[in-house]
């Protein structure tokens, strides 16, 4: 079957980030399991793993915006969130289509589906539209839970909690020792992504919902030159977000991921391109757009690194000690009810008294 037209340079960057994330995951696993087994590790903990802690990063962002500084437990997580926001502000939702490893895997699964089954399926509109709303509901819930329902003392209490200090290893164990429910959910998502392209990103990812909304403010958008367009609709057929590109002058849809598959599919040179507003003669080449996204993302990470906000304040010795006791109730989620004997001082969002903000006795 003919492959889906796609910007080759975008795919190269996407695969490069995917390989980088796999390398980070492998190094982190070696490091974490050494500590979990009570050994010292040759490998260092890669801070990039904090990209998998988006809720913690969302809380750190709020704390930072409220003037509380950059929280030192997972600073790289905040850097990655800000990098994703900047990239998606420059080119709509471009973090999803260029950097995000889940987006990359999701696309590869869709490609696999096309190869195995000859096609992927589109859900009927009556189902597609309400399902797309799920990711906004999830986003609304997380924003409510971390930005509205929690006061700053509770927020700081969570970020300082024993749970958050080892949240990266908790997340590793969640996938390394999965429950039946986890296996079932992951399997269902994989099958859904093989059958329906970008099923996770399109319907469920709250991060994508946030970046899509932010993309509305982006100065760079796909624009169609109506004077040269031959109305072949190849762009619309290529669009994974099911946007009627052939009918738009400038694509402002929140589902657009800036992937440029429509640009790659267009047979008329220069007809479809990413352009700044009110500059019809200026068109950015696909490689330039990919470069803007990658640089926008990496600049934020570099700035955090240079400013000394990249490595966690949790020392190797503290990790070694905490990972030895990570299965104890003291490391339960602060939102869950701890047993009465637990005395971490952190009881959960909305319930941490101010005097207990830094009361982890083991710190």
Contacts with ligand SF4, residue ranges (CB under 6 A): 222, 224, 229-235, 238-241, 243, 245-246, 251, 256-262, 265-266, 268, 271-272
Closer of 98 and 322 to ligand SF4 (Cβ): 98
Closer of 59 and 259 to ligand SF4 (Cβ): 259
- CA gap 133, 118 in Å, rounded: 28
Closest distance to ligand SF4 from the beta carbon of 314 (Å): 39
Closest distance to ligand SF4 from the beta carbon of 238 (Å): 6
Closer of 73 and 256 to ligand SF4 (Cβ): 256
Which residues are registered as beta bridge partners of 235?
none
Query: How far is residue 203 from each of residues 9, 166, 209, measured CA to CA in Å?
Result: 26, 30, 9
Closer of 161 and 260 to ligand SF4 (Cβ): 260
Q: Which residue has the tokens 């490091």?
A: 31
- CA gap 73, 164 in Å, rounded: 8
- Give the single-character DSSP code of 121: -
Angle at 220 (CA atoms; ends 147, 50), nearest 5 degrees = 40
Decide if 233 contacts 248 (C-beta within 8 A).
Answer: no
- Give the single-character DSSP code of 240: T
Closer of 60 and 257 to ligand SF4 (Cβ): 257
Decide if 300 contacts 82 (C-beta within 8 A).
Answer: yes
- CA gap 44, 27 in Å, rounded: 7
Task: Quickly count: other Cβ atoms within 10 Å of residue 229's Cβ.
Answer: 17
Closer of 170 and 237 to ligand SF4 (Cβ): 237
Closer of 59 and 292 to ligand SF4 (Cβ): 292
Decide if 232 contacts 257 (C-beta within 8 A).
Answer: no
Tell me which residue of 94, 216, 84, 68 sits closest to 153, measured CA to CA.
Answer: 68
Q: Could you tell me the two tokens for 14?
A: 């996407």
Quote the distance between the C-alpha of residue 146 and its chain's center: 17
Closest distance to ligand SF4 from the beta carbon of 20 (Å): 23
Closest distance to ligand SF4 from the beta carbon of 97 (Å): 7
Closer of 76 and 235 to ligand SF4 (Cβ): 235
Closest distance to ligand SF4 from the beta carbon of 132 (Å): 14
Closest distance to ligand SF4 from the beta carbon of 230 (Å): 5
**Residues 6 or more apart from 71 whose CB is under 8 A from it?**
59, 60, 63, 64, 78, 156, 159
Closest distance to ligand SF4 from the beta carbon of 354 (Å): 46
Query: How far is residue 275 from each of residues 48, 103, 139, 281, measured CA to CA in Å?
Result: 32, 24, 29, 8
- CA gap 352, 340 in Å, rounded: 15
Closest distance to ligand SF4 from the beta carbon of 36 (Å): 41
Closest distance to ligand SF4 from the beta carbon of 163 (Å): 37
Decide if 78 contacts 70 (C-beta within 8 A).
Answer: yes
Closer of 169 and 264 to ligand SF4 (Cβ): 264
Closest distance to ligand SF4 from the beta carbon of 242 (Å): 8
Closer of 242 and 322 to ligand SF4 (Cβ): 242
């Amino acid at each position: 079957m003919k492959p889906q037209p796609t910007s080759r340079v975008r795919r190269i960057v996407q695969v490069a980030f995917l390989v980088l994330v796999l390398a980070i995951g492998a190094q982190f696993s070696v490091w974490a399991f050494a500590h979990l087994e009570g050994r010292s590790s040759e490998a260092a903990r890669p801070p990039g793993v904090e990209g998998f802690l988006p809720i913690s990063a969302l809380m750190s962002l709020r704390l930072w915006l409220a003037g509380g500084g950059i929280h030192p437990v997972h600073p790289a997580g905040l850097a990655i969130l800000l990098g994703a926001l900047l990239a998606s502000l420059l080119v709509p939702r471009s973090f999803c289509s260029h950097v995000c490893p889940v987006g990359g895997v999701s696309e590869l699964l869709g490609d696999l589906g096309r190869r195995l089954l000859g096609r992927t399926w589109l859900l009927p509109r009556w189902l597609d539209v309400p399902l797309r709303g799920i990711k906004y509901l999830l986003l609304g819930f997380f924003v409510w839970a971390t930005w509205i329902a929690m006061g700053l003392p509770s927020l700081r209490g969570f970020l300082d909690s024993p749970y958050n200090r080892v949240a990266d290893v908790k997340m590793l164990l969640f996938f390394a020792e999965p429950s039946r429910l986890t296996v079932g959910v992951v399997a269902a998502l994989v099958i859904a992504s093989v059958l329906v392209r970008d099923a996770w990103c399109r319907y469920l990812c709250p991060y994508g919902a946030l970046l899509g909304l932010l993309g509305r403010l982006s100065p760079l958008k796909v624009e169609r030159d109506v004077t040269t367009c031959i109305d072949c609709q190849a762009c619309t057929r290529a669009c994974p977000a099911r946007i009627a590109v052939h009918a738009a002058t400038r694509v402002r849809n929140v589902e657009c991921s800036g992937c440029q598959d429509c640009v790659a599919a267009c047979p008329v040179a220069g007809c479809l391109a990413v352009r700044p507003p009110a500059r019809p003669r200026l068109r950015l080449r696909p490689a330039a757009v990919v470069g803007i996204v990658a640089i926008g993302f990496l600049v934020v990470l570099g700035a955090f690194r240079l400013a000394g906000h990249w490595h966690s304040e949790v020392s190797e010795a503290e990790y070694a000690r905490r990972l030895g006791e990570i299965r104890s109730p003291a490391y339960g989620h602060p939102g869950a009810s701890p047993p009465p004997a637990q005395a971490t001082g952190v009881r959960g969002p909305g319930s941490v008294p101010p005097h207990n903000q830094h009361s982890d006795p083991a710190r």
